[in-house]
A and B are shown apart, each in its own frame.
Chain A
């Protein structure tokens, strides 16, 4: 059996186990829904406010930077596998690619994109 078919079989087993836990155990007990029990956790004075204020856009910036740099990182895997065969030329190829992105990273750093305030 080719490796990914074997992995698929394993994923199937895992899915069955997880579904059994999620669907099965949940039905074992009676559930009583009362007001206080269903309120989201809060200590001290209870509030009617929803989930609260908006969150800093900084989180979103982190996610975007991650996507961009992850795309860059992906390119390194095939390159790393073949670096021995590519030799010095491979090093140059990647150097150009990486330097452009290093400039971008330096720009983000200088603009304060990496600061967490």
Chain B
């Protein structure tokens, strides 16, 4: 296959990184706009038409800010934590396919950097490393608020990762594969999105993806009323920006994963032809839902958050898995 030489992979890798960073920049504008409309304001309007140059201004500001570091901080880890967070967030996208392979004459353009048979497991494995950046950043600052925020964030991410795993497993059982392309293929074969038989799994996945990315109403890690800014209290400038970028890219990863596992990926609704744009549209709706939640719900209490994860989502995810696997083992979706 012509699409597999080193140079070609390198080009696609660079494009993917640029794409993710660009998407991050403009998703920030979109979020501020949408939040603005939710609150009967305009959102950013000053920089460029419709505030479209806002991310450039933000980036310049972040780069120009002084890079502060508290006196008692552990220098090595303080510097490593935001870099690690960003690295892990970007790395998870390595194996996510954005659509079916495109063909331009002889040139094949796969819409992913790599598409291994166990891609799903790879994404989950990388996502599980997201806990490092947050907890090490919180610890290295040697500040009360940062430490508490880091601890909370880590405990929360770990708890919801379990329920997330259970809902992903139910999708795996239904499709019978760990390949992300295979997931979409299975849904194409049955002519039905996986969320139809597996609606509970989908709901659990959505809730957990909000909690995993520490977004409102689960943003206890940075509850400004009590913790100032949580684990990144002591970070300024571009190191702070790294944490924010990691959070948003994680949102992209989880929305892509949710769309592929449960919403048919790049399959069109009502038998329309499949295209990468469907996946983009589904991801956009998924991300809009993130913003909508943030605009609507107040933050929930930490003890409620933890018992919701352990006493509701985990048992529910397990029961859902029992029903899905009985359905499959007894001949459903063969």
B-binding residues in A (CB < 8 A): 1, 3-7, 9-15, 17-19, 21-22, 25-26, 28-29, 31-32, 37-43, 50-52, 55, 59, 62-63, 65-66, 69-70, 73, 76-77, 80-84, 86-88, 90-91, 94, 98, 102, 105, 109, 114-117
A40 in complex: contacting residue of B70, B90, B318, CB < 8 Å = B70
Q: Closest Cβ of chain B: how far from A29's Cβ, in Å?
A: 6
Q: A80 with B325: in contact, given A4-B114, A25-B63, A40-B234 (CB under 8 Å)?
A: yes
B142 in complex: contacting residue of A25, A31, A40, A91, CB < 8 Å = A40
Q: Which residues of B contact A102 (CB under 8 A)?
A: 318
Check A90–B329 contact: CB distance below 8 A.
yes
A41 in complex: contacting residue of B13, B69, B145, CB < 8 Å = B145
Instruction: Name, among A14, A21, A29, A43, the residue most crowded by chain B CB atoms within 10 Å (CB to CB).
Output: A14
Q: Which residues of B contact A6 (CB under 8 A)?
A: 4, 9, 113-114
Question: Is B295 an interface residue, CB under 8 A from the partner?
Answer: no
Check A18–B86 contact: CB distance below 8 A.
yes
Q: Which residues of A contact B302 (CB under 8 A)?
A: 116
Check A40–B144 contact: CB distance below 8 A.
yes
The stretch among B24-32, B45-53, B155-163, B265-273 that forms the contact with chain A is B155-163
Instruction: Name, among B9, B115, B145, B314, the residue most crowded by chain A CB atoms within 10 Å (CB to CB).
Output: B9
Please, how many angstroms separate the alpha-carbon atoms of A12 and B242 in the complex?
A: 18
Q: A9 with B144: in contact, given A31-B67, A32-B66, A90-B329 (CB under 8 Å)?
A: no
Check A22–B83 contact: CB distance below 8 A.
yes
Can you give 30 A-B contacts (C-beta < 8 A)?
A: A1-B6, A3-B115, A3-B116, A4-B114, A6-B113, A6-B114, A7-B95, A7-B116, A7-B122, A10-B91, A14-B90, A22-B83, A25-B238, A26-B67, A26-B79, A26-B238, A28-B63, A38-B68, A38-B69, A41-B143, A70-B165, A73-B166, A76-B173, A81-B177, A83-B329, A84-B329, A91-B329, A98-B318, A105-B314, A116-B306
Q: A59 with B143: in contact, given A73-B166, A114-B307 (CB under 8 Å)?
A: no
Q: Which residues of A contact B122 (CB under 8 A)?
A: 7
Q: A84 with B334: in contact, given A10-B113, A63-B158, A114-B310 (CB under 8 Å)?
A: yes
A81 in complex: contacting residue of B159, B176, B307, CB < 8 Å = B176
**Chain A interface SS verdict (over half):** helix
Q: Which residues of B contact A13 (CB under 8 A)?
A: 10, 13-14, 17
**Chain B interface SS verdict (over half):** helix
Q: A51 with B155: in contact, given A32-B66, A77-B178 (CB under 8 Å)?
A: no
Please, how many angstroms separate the alpha-carbon atoms of A115 and B308 in the complex?
A: 10
Please, how many angstroms separate the alpha-carbon atoms of A56 and B119 in the complex?
A: 37
Question: Is B121 an interface residue, CB under 8 A from the partner?
Answer: yes
Please, how many angstroms separate the alpha-carbon atoms of A8 and B50 in the complex?
A: 39
Check B172–A73 contact: CB distance below 8 A.
no
Contact string against A for B residues 297-328, beta-carbon threshold 8 Å, 1 for contact and 0 otherwise: 00000110011001100110010011001101
Q: Which residues of B contact A18 (CB under 8 A)?
A: 83, 86-87, 90
Q: Which residues of A contact B83 (CB under 8 A)?
A: 18-19, 21-22
Q: A80 with B172: in contact, given A7-B94, A62-B158, A116-B302 (CB under 8 Å)?
A: yes
Question: Is B187 an interface residue, CB under 8 A from the partner?
Answer: no
Check B87–A15 contact: CB distance below 8 A.
yes
A56, closest chain B residue (CB): B151
Please, how many angstroms separate the alpha-carbon atoms of A81 and B143 in the complex?
A: 46
Given contact pairs A3-B95, A81-B177, A116-B303, enumerate 6 new A-B contacts (beta carbons under 8 Å).
A13-B17, A28-B63, A40-B141, A51-B143, A55-B148, A83-B173
Please, how many angstroms separate the alpha-carbon atoms of A115 and B302 in the complex?
A: 11
Question: Is B250 an interface residue, CB under 8 A from the partner?
Answer: no
Q: Which residues of A contact B9 (CB under 8 A)?
A: 1, 5-6, 9-10
Q: Closest Cβ of chain B: how far from A3's Cβ, in Å?
A: 4
Q: Closest Cβ of chain B: how far from A108's Cβ, in Å?
A: 9
Question: Is B284 an interface residue, CB under 8 A from the partner?
Answer: no
